[in-house]
Amino acid sequence: MSRKQAKYLEGLLGDEKEPGAPTQERAKPTTLLNRASALARVQSGEVKQVTQLELDPSRVKVWPGNARRYDSLTEENCADLLDALVAENGQKIPAVVRRITNDPHADYEVIAGTRRHWAVKWLRAHSYPDFKFLAQVHNLDDEAAFRLADIENRSRKDVSDIERARNYLGALEAHYGGKQRRMAERLKVSEGWLSKMLKVAALPDSVLDAFNSLEDVLLKPAYELAKAYEVADRREKIDAEAKVIVFEQQALKASGKSALAGPDVLRRLLKSTAKDAPAKDWTGYATHGKTGRVALSVENCGRQGITFKVHSGSGESAEDLAKAFREVLEKLQATGIIVN
């Protein structure tokens, strides 16, 4: 996170104690980077009260308006944070939370600091039961919470462009009445850039599934794909090619091979929409068995029909061959070669 973003976040903080805070939670003093700015925000009503607490993470849930996917956090992708927390004997940088009511399972929800919440919760379950979730409690409305979470996520590599784009699309109606200009002004981003993000957000899961990971879907190239997808006849071709790529990605993973890279997937999706794009010739297409030998192949593929060949010595069972046959048929159907 840049110094400018950190300064902005600090500017949102006040130093008053939240009324009604549980006595067993130990309050700590808040250090302000810009006290004048913070007081102005408090007086304006945008941010009213704040205190810093050590919380039990099991009593804190994640605000659904955050772009980060909590279920995607793992020991592997949080290893750097886990190591830092252990080395520093606890959390040093507080998260931002707000108090919630009428929830029997939680007292607070995380606005900024989802990864820290996950890490502390994981460490408490793995040899560090005394670790606490350090958080500053703010009185924020949903729009202010969205902006605060967005500032933190902008520099996070593990929040993909498509996740942020979809988060923006949801916030557009929820917080800004569908007005892009107002949203851009509040987020302090250009309207043109925001427009691209919102267009990318419209790409459906059926197309995104062709990519090995959402991290492969970068804004600039994805914007070109999103523009192409808006055109009806190009959309059909992209959908068909995406289905084929999904099958190929699954086959590669099943065989232990590397998945198709993001740029290659994008290139194929866009190429499929070209006016002079040749129809895919499936003659010679083959599937391989567990031994690596060819099990099933397409001998001929034309208007008159399709000829398949089952190869002996592949080591595949009848059930395996039937499954391979069905998968090839689904691919041919997806590309329009076989019509129901």
pLDDT tens, residue by residue, 231-279: 988 998 899 889 889 888 888 887 788 999 999 999 999 998 876 555 5
Nearest Cα to 284, choosing from 301, 302, 296, 299?
Answer: 299
In angstroms, the CA 292 to CA 289 distance is 5
Higher pLDDT pick, 284 / 194: 194
Is the CB of residue 66 less than 8 Å from the CB of residue 159? Answer: no
Q: How far apart are the first and last CA of the chain?
A: 53
Q: Are 209 and 246 in contact (CB under 8 A)?
A: yes
Q: What is the pTM (predicted TM-score) of this model?
A: 0.66
Q: What is the pLDDT of residue 255?
A: 77
Contact 100, 55 (CB under 8 A): no
Looking at residue 20, its pLDDT comes to: 37
Average pLDDT over all residues of the chain: 81
Give the mean model confidence (pLDDT) for residues 139-164.
Answer: 86
In the sheet that holds 133-138, the strands lie side by side as 50-55, 133-138, 95-99, 108-112, 60-62
- Spatial distance between the Cα atoms of 58 and 70, rounded to a whole number of angstroms: 14
> 74: left (phi > 0), else alpha (psi -120 to 50), else beta?
beta
Pick from 21-25, 33-37, 50-54, 210-214 the range whose average pLDDT is largest.
210-214
**Residue 248 and residue 260 in contact, taking contact as beta carbons nearer than 8 Å:** yes
Measured at the alpha carbon of residue 319, what is the angle toward residues 317 and 323, in degrees to the nearest 5? 120
Exposed, middle or buried by CB within 10 Å (0-12, 13-18, 19+), for 153? buried
29-78 pLDDT per residue, tens: 344 445 445 545 544 555 555 578 999 999 999 998 888 788 888 999 89
What percentage of the chain has pLDDT greater than the value 90?
45
- Residue 280 banded pLDDT, cuts 50, 70, 90: low
Yes or no: say if 207 and 269 are a contact pair by the CB < 8 Å rule: yes
DSSP-based three-state secondary structure for 26: coil
Q: What is the mean pLDDT of residues 155-159?
A: 72
Task: With beta carbons less than 8 A apart as the criterion, state whether 131 and 92 touch.
Answer: no
| Token output for 88 | 């520093």
Q: What is the reported pLDDT for 322?
A: 85
Structure confidence at residue 31 (pLDDT): 42
> Averaged over 286-312, what is the pLDDT?
77
Contact, 293 vs 311, CB < 8 A? yes
Put the strands of the sheet holding 294-302 in their side by side order: 286-288, 294-302, 305-310
Distance CA 192, CA 224 (A): 14
pLDDT in tens, 77-93: 899 999 999 999 999 98
- At 101, is the secondary structure helix, strand, or coil? coil
